[in-house]
Structure 1
Amino acid sequence: MAILMLSVLSTSLTQTSRNYISKRVSSYRPLISDSRVNSLFLRGQVVQARPFSSGADLPPHQEIGMPSLSPTMTEGNIAKWLKKEGDKVAPGEVLCEVETDKATVEMESMEEGYLAKIIHGDGAKEIKVGEIIAVTVEEEEDIAKFKDYKAPTSSASDAPAEPKSHPEPTESKEEKAAAKAPEANATRAEEASHSGDRVFSSPVAKKLAEDNSVPLSSIKGTGPDGLILKADIEDYLAKGAKDSTPAPGLGYVDLPNTQIRKVTANRLVQSKQTIPHYYLTVDTRVDKLIKLRGQLNPLQDTSGGKKISINDLVIKAAALALRKVPECNSSWMDDFIRQYHNVNINVAVQTDHGLFVPVVRDADKKGLATIADEVKQLAQKAKDNSLKPEDYEGGTFTVSNLGGPFGIKQFCAIVNPPQSAILAIGSAEKKVVPGADSQFEVGSFMSATLSCDHRVIDGAIGAEWLKAFKRYIENPTSMLL
C-alpha cells in the first residue's frame, strides 16, 4: 500500500512539474524567439524555440522566428519556401530563402521533424526579426492539428485572460485626458527651430521624425503646451504622402524599394547627419602602376589566374597604407576609439539589386593574384544576390572606384559606419608635366579622395595616410616586397 501511494505521489509531482515548466516556457516564448534567434542565427541556420504545448489542444511544437542575419537587420522578406507544409525536414536541409538588408540567405533546419504550418508564405515582406514565420512538430500525426494555427502577436497572448466578473469602472474625464496623451508624461525632447524658439516633442515622436527626416520645427504639436506627439508625426507623413500625388496628366511609375535600398538609405542619412566628414584629395601618377599591371597579367594568363585590375592594385596599396597609419583603421565608439589589428577592405559593387560592399579580409597580407580572384568572386556573388553575412561583415575601411568603370574624374564618398574613412578613386587622365633637361613629358594621373570622420582622424593623420597611399601607387613594386 505504501509503495502504491509513493508511486501515485511521484506521478502527481512529475505531472505538476511538467505543467509548471510548460507554463514557464510558454510565458518566455517571445524572449526565446527574439534573443536566441538574434544571437545564434548568424550563418543561415534556424534556431528553434522548444516550448511545450501552448494550449491543451496543441501538441509539443517549435516556433521558428525570423532570424537576424546582419547587425543592421531589423526585418526581412521571405523570397520563397523550398519546403511545403507536411514535408519532413532534417538537420541541414534548406527550409526557405530569406531576403535580408544585404543579400538573400538560405535558411537551414537544425532539427528533425515536420513542417506543420507556414505563417508567412512566399513573397511575405517586412517581417520583424523574431516574428514567427513557421511551426514544426516532431510527430507526423500532429501536423493536422496546426491547420488553423495562428501565431501569437505578443507576449500578452500567452498570458491567461483575467475573468471579467465585474464591469469595468467608467473613467472620469480627467483620466481619459491623461490616457489620451501618455507621451506627455515622458521626458520631453527639445530641438531649436530656425527662429530660435524651442520645439518640444516626446522621445517617441522625435525618433520617428529622425527616421523619416521630418523637421520638427514644421509641425504643430497637439499635446499639452504644444508638445509634438507620435500621432502628429504620423499625420504629417500621411499628409505628405497625399501631397506627393503628381499633377494630372503627368506620367510616372512608383518603384518599390528593396530591403537593401531602404537600409542603405537609412545608413547614408545616419552617416551624413552624425559623422563630421572632411575630404582630402591627391593626384597620383600611375604610369608605373599601369606598366606593372601589364607585366603581371601575362603571368596570370599563363598560370590560369584572374587578370589583375587597377582596382586590385588600389586595394593592396590602401591596405598597406592602413598598416603604416593604423589610426585610419579605426572606429568611433563614443567613449573610446577602437583601432583594428586586421585590415579588412570593403569594395563597393553596384548591382541591379542595389549597392553592396563585400569584404576582402586581411588584404595587407594577401598577394595581388589572391586579391584579384577574391574581388571577382565577391562581385559575382553580389550581382547574383547570393552574398552570405561573412562576405560583407567585419570591414574596417572601404574603397569605392567610379573612375575605371564610369570615367568619373573625382568624387567624395560617404563614410560607411562604423568605419572612419572611405577612399574614392577617380579616372586616370593624361597631363603634360615638366621632365628632365627642361623638357616636357606626358604622364597619367589618377585622383584619390579620402573621406574622413574627424572624430577619429585628424587632418594631419589623414594627410599622412594619403602620403603613404600615394607612395605605394607611384612605386608599385614596393607592394611586392
Structure 2
Amino acid sequence: MASTCLRHAMRRLAPTMRKALIQVEGRTFHTASRVSAVAGVRSLAVARSALAGGATCRTGVQRGFADSSIRSFSAAAADLPPHQELGMPSLSPTMTEGNIAGFKKNVGDKIEAGDVLCEIETDKATMEWESMESGYLAKILAPTGTQNVKVGTGVMVVCEEEGDIAAFANYTSAGIADAPPTQAGAPAAAPPPPAAPAAAPAAAPARAAAPKVDGARLFASPLARRLSREMGVPLEGIAGTGENGRITKADVEAAKARGHTGAAATTAAGGVDGSMFFPDFTDMPVKMVQKITAQRLTESKQQIPHYYLSVDVQMDKLMAARAALNRSQEKAGVKLSVTDFIVKASALSLMAVPSMNSSWMGDTVRTYHAADISIAVQTEHGLMVPIVKDADSKGLSNLSSDLKALAAKARDNKLAPADYTGGTFTISNLGMMGVKQFCAIVNPPQAAILAVGSSEKRVIPGKAEGTYEEGSFMSATISCDHRVVDGAVAAEWLAVFKKYMEDPMTMLL
C-alpha cells in the first residue's frame, strides 16, 4: 500500500471506497479519532504495523512533548465528514491526566494553526494547548471543568469544512484511553458469577435503633426524643453537646436547621466523620498541582531515608559585596539578591563535591556533570519548582535575570515544561518570610535539597582580645537521601558552600 497520508488518500476516494481502503485481513479500522481495529488495534503506531507500511496520519507535538491527539477519519464506517478527534495531550513527561481549565474556542469557531484551543491543568502547571492545524471546532467532548481526563482521551472534534459542523451535533466518543477490546477470535472473558442472594432483611423495628460508635450508647434527653419524633429528625448521627455527650433539645433544633437526615457522616475509610464536632467550614477542591505535589512529597518522605545537617553562615562579606555590585550595575538595571548568591554558591559546591549532584536510579547512582538548580516558588496556584539550567557556568547577572523571569512565569502560571523538567538539586528559601530554620523534603530523584532561613544579628568575639562586634548569620539546612549521600559527604558539601558564601570573591576564581 502506498505511503501517502491516509487523510489525502481518503479524500481522493469516493465515500463508498473509504471503508474498503482500510480493511486489512478482515479487520476494519473506522473510529473517528484514531486508527483503531475491531481486532484490538488501539493506537496509530499499532495500526501502521497492521496496515503493513500503509498510509499514516500525523501525530502533533506540543512544546517538545508528544501530543497524544491522533488524527484520522470517519466514525461508524466513514459515516461522518473528514475530521479529527483530539485527545488529551501529554504536556510533560510525568503527565498521565489533566483537567480542562477553560476553552478558548467555541463550537463553530474557525481555528488556525497556532491558535490556543484550551488551557489544560497538568501535574506541573496550567498549559495552553495550541492547534497544530486549521479547521473548525465541531464538538467539545470534555467541557470546561472536566477533571482527571486521561492522556489520549478525546477532548474535542475538529472538522475541515464549516458546513460539516452540524453533522457532529450528536457525536460521541468511546474514549481513546479506554482499555483495548478482546482480540478477534479470542474467547470473551467469562461473566462474573452471579452474586449470592442477599439475606432476607430482618423485620424492621418500630423505630430504627441508634447506631453505636465505638460501642457507645446513644443518650438523649426526654425532651430531645419528643422533639425528634415531632420534627421528624432522627437522633442517629447527631452530636450531643449536653453532659456526657447527651443529645439536648438545642442539638435536635440545630440538626433540623441544617437538614439532618439521620445518617451519620462517614469518611472515605468508612469511619465516622468528626466534622460534626467542628465549626462551620468550606471544602476547597484540590488542584492538580496540589494533588501531585502531595502525592510525590508523601512518597518521598515514606521511601527516602532523610537526614539533615545544618550550618550557620556569616553573611557580612556577602552583603557588602552585593551592595557594591548593585551600586556598580545600577545604570544597567541589575539588582542582585541574596538568592542569586545562594544559587551560585550551591552550583559551585555541587561541582566541587559531585556526589551531591546525583540521583538514585535503583540499580545505579547517576552523577550529573552540570548543576541545574530547582528553585521552590510558592504561588497562588500551588508550589512551583522552575529550574535554572547550567547554574555553575553562569555569572551572577545572568542568574539574577533567569531567576526573575522564572519566578514571574511561575506566579503567572505560564511555566513551560522545559522550565520545570529535570533539575539536579533544589533550594527552598523562606528567609524573606522571617523563618529562622527549617527542614525541607527531598525532591526525588534528586539527592538533596537546601533549606535557607533568615539572617539575624549576633554578638561575636572581635578581632582584638576582649572585644566584641556584631555579625549577621544565616541558617542553612540540607536534607539528603542517605541511599546516595553519606553524612560525611554532605558535611563536606556544606563546608564548601559556607566557604563560598562567607568569602564571595572566591566564586569568581
- Measured against the shorter chain, the TM-score band is 0.7 to 0.9
1:20-70 superposed Cα distances (whole Å, 9 cap, x missing partner): 485282227743499999994454885531223231322332221111222
* From 254, 261, 273, the counterpart of 2:290: 261
Distance 1:161 1:155, change over 3 A: farther
Match of 1:243 in 2: 272
CA distance in 1, matches of 2:485, 2:60: 32
Is 1:375 aligned with 2:403? yes
Match of 1:131 in 2: 153
1:241-294 superposed Cα distances (whole Å, 9 cap, x missing partner): 773351267211112111111111001100000100001111111110010011
Is 1:272 aligned with 2:293? no
Distance 1:292 1:169, change over 3 A: closer
The higher relative CO (CA closer than 8 Å, separation ≥ 6) is in 1
Match of 1:65 in 2: 87
Distance 1:377 1:15, change over 3 A: closer
Is 1:31 aligned with 2:38? no
Match of 1:325 in 2: 353
SS in structure 1 at match of 2:436: coil
Instruction: Note if contact 1:26-1:51 (Cα within 8 Å) is conserved in structure 2.
Output: no
Instruction: Note if contact 1:46-1:109 (Cα within 8 Å) is conserved in structure 2.
Output: no
Match of 1:16 in 2: 20
* From 328, 342, 366, the counterpart of 1:299: 328
Question: AA paired with 1:299?
Answer: S
Match of 2:497 in 1: 469
Q: Which moved more, 1:42-51 or 1:349-358?
A: 42-51
Question: AA paired with 1:315?
Answer: V
Question: AA paired with 2:22?
Answer: R
Is 1:432 aligned with 2:459? yes
Match of 1:358 in 2: 386
1:77-100 superposed Cα distances (whole Å, 9 cap, x missing partner): 112211221222222221111111
Q: Percent identity?
A: 51
Question: AA paired with 2:36?
Answer: S
| TM-superposed deviation, 1:13 | 9.7
| TM-superposed deviation, 1:407 | 1.1
Q: More helix by proportion, 1 or 2?
A: 1
| TM-superposed deviation, 1:332 | 0.4
Aligned pairs for 1:405-416 within 5 A: 405-416=432-443
CA distance in 1, matches of 2:139, 2:46: 20
Aligned pairs for 1:148-297 within 5 A: 148-153=170-175, 155=178, 175-176=193-194, 239-240=268-269, 243-244=272-273, 246-247=275-276, 250-297=279-326
| TM-superposed deviation, 1:299 | 2.2
| TM-superposed deviation, 1:436 | 2.3
* From 73, 93, 99, the counterpart of 1:52: 73
Unpaired stretches in structure 1, ≥5 consecutive residues: 1-9, 163-167, 179-235
| TM-superposed deviation, 1:106 | 1.0
Aligned pairs for 1:134-149 within 5 A: 134-149=156-171
1:433-465 superposed Cα distances (whole Å, 9 cap, x missing partner): 223231222211111111000111111111111
Instruction: Note if contact 1:283-1:446 (Cα within 8 Å) is conserved in structure 2.
Output: yes
1:351-370 superposed Cα distances (whole Å, 9 cap, x missing partner): 11111111111111111111
CA distance in 2, matches of 1:15, 1:350: 54
Distance 1:347 1:155, change over 3 A: closer
SS in structure 1 at match of 2:43: helix
Distance 1:357 1:241, change over 3 A: farther
Match of 1:232 in 2: none
CA distance in 1, matches of 2:496, 2:311: 11
Aligned pairs for 1:34-113 within 5 A: 40-43=61-64, 47-56=68-77, 57-113=79-135
- The structure with more radius of gyration: 2
Aligned residues: 405
- TM-score, structure 1 normalization: 0.77
SS in structure 2 at match of 1:341: coil
Aligned pairs for 1:387-406 within 5 A: 387-403=415-431, 405-406=432-433
| TM-superposed deviation, 1:385 | 1.2
* From 410, 413, 421, the counterpart of 1:385: 413
1:361-416 superposed Cα distances (whole Å, 9 cap, x missing partner): 1111111111111111111111111111111111110001111x111111110001
* From 428, 434, 446, the counterpart of 2:474: 446
| TM-superposed deviation, 1:124 | 2.1
Please report the RMSD computed on the Cα atoms of aligned residues, expressed in angstroms.
3.3
SS in structure 1 at match of 2:413: coil
| TM-superposed deviation, 1:159 | 8.0
Unpaired stretches in structure 2, ≥5 consecutive residues: 1-12, 48-56, 197-264
